[in-house]
Amino acid sequence: MVEKTYKDGFSEHLFEYRNVEKKKLTLSLSITLCVMFVELIGGFLTNSIALLSDAGHMFTHSFAITISLVAIIIAKKPPCHHRTFGLYRTEVLAAFINGLFLLIVAAVIIFEAAQRIIQPKEVLGFQMLIIAFIGLGVNLASIVILHGSHKTNLNIKGVFYHMIADAVSSVGIVFAAILIFITGWFIIDPIISIGISVLIIYWAWDILKDSTRILLEISPKGLNADIISEDLKKQFPNIKGLSNIHLWTIIPEMIIFSAHISLKNNNIKNKEEFVFKISKFLEKNYNIIESTIQITDEINVC
């Protein structure tokens, strides 16, 4: 059986945009894997828990990018008769998974750092510093590659925060390496690692909140049905009220709205044109790409 697909201008534009993101993620993955192996080997050679923890974070970073790449490939599968919204939500699910992985990474780092605080081990500060600078350079390169895409795509945002966390980790490791080289205080290594973990938890929580909001079909951040209802009444004076209002997000770029609208009078000759104007207003002012408006005679409206 041949599966009939449904395409529109927005989907085609989104797919083209995702192709660019796919290339960026692939490049970032290649760079990250290289640095991960450098830090892993360097961590064992210098006996640095900070380098090893950063290498572990690099691994989850690589895993996060892989998840995002797979999500983009799946999400590009066009809508059809039983997937009318397509599989865009796969990207949101990937962001949620990446957020969970960030929490796991932070927990492992804190545990290992606590062990090092109880039983400090000697760290080769100079070698640790060199490797940390290499890691920092690569992290900054990855951030530059994906900068901008994270603002509109929650999936990319999850990966981007992984990169930011990596960069902060590298800065922390550089700072720790300098202090260890100068003072010989090996306990600085696990203390810096704990500080890095706190930042990772903060970013992970932000990603989890945004992705959970979408998966539970809660209204987009900063927007709700009452705001739109009042705005529509002001813009279209003939609207008496709205009922059965639904506002949700497929992905951050795809906001959907539906409502029943009652009119103060039925003198509008072309109701289809009236509904069209409402849809264009919602698209222009709220970035609502799809709206379903039904004219009704209901009395109990808001």
**pLDDT at residue 9, rounded to an integer:** 45
pTM: 0.68
Q: Amino acid identity of 122?
A: E
Average pLDDT over residues 53-57: 67
More confident residue, 88 or 16: 88
For residue 69, the SS3 value is helix
pLDDT, average across residues 66-77: 73
Q: Cα separation of 214 and 271, whole Å?
A: 32
The string of pLDDT tens digits covering residues 116-156 is 788 777 766 677 777 777 777 777 877 777 666 555 556 66
Question: What does each C-alpha distance from 21 to 78, 147, 207, 257 come to in angstroms?
Answer: 17, 11, 19, 27
pLDDT at residue number 5: 43
What CATH number belongs to 9-215? 1.20.1510.10
Superfamily of domain 225-295: K homology (KH) domain (3.30.300.20)
**Domain ranges for the chain:** 9-215, 225-295
Q: For residue 142, count other CB atoms closer than 10 A to its CB.
A: 27
Task: Give the whole-angstrom CA distance, residue 178 versus residue 188.
Answer: 10
Degrees to nearest 5, angle at CA 221 with 198 and 146: 60
